[in-house]
Amino acid sequence: MLARFAVTALLALSLLSGCGYFRRVGECRRLAVRVNGALGEIAAAHDAGGATPASHRELAGRYERLARDVEAHSKGDDALGRTLKEYSLAFDETARSLRTLADAMEKQDPIAASRLRREMGNLARRDKTLVARIDGLCAEP
C-alpha cells in the first residue's frame, strides 16, 4: 500500500513539473509571436518611413510599446523573468536612442547622429545575445 502511494506521489510530481514546463513553453511561444510580429511591423514602418526625425520618433513609440509587452511577460525573478526584464530595457534603450537621433537630425548634428547610429548597432548585437538566452531558457526542461 505504501509503495503504491509512493508511485502515485512520484507520478503526480512528475506530471505537475511537466505541466509547468509546457506552461512556460506556451508562454514563450506567445511572447515570440508578439515580439516577432511587432519587430516585423517596426521593420516595415522603418522601410516605409525613411530616415526622418518624425519616422524615428514613431519607431521609438513602437519600441516603447514592445518594451511594455515584454515586461508584462517577465513574471517572477527566475532566470527567464530577469532576462525578459533585460530585453524590455533594451527595447526602451532603443526607443531613447531613436528619439535622441531624431533630435540630432533636427539640429543637423552629424557627429551625434553618427555616434547614435553606432550605438544602435551595438544595441542590435545585444538584442541577438538576449534572444539566444531567451531561446535557451524557454527550451530548458
Task: Tell if the pTM clears 0.95, that is, is over it.
Answer: no
pLDDT in tens, 28-84: 888 889 988 988 888 888 788 678 899 999 999 999 999 999 999 888 778 899 999
With both helix axes pointing from N to C terminus, report the angle between 53-73 and 2-49 in degrees, rounded to the nearest 10: 180
DSSP count for the chain of H helices, then E strands? 4, 0
Q: What is the pLDDT of residue 20?
A: 60
Dihedral (C-alpha) 84, 86, 91, 97: value to the nearest 10 degrees? 180
pLDDT in tens, 10-26: 444 444 445 566 677 78
Q: What is the pLDDT of residue 76?
A: 78
Distance of CA 54 to the CA centre of its chain: 24
- The span from the CA of 64 to the CA of 91, in Å, is 7
Q: Where are the domains of the chain?
A: 24-139
76: left (phi over 0), alpha (psi -120 to 50) or beta: left
Q: What is the pLDDT of residue 26?
A: 81
Q: What is the pLDDT of residue 7?
A: 42
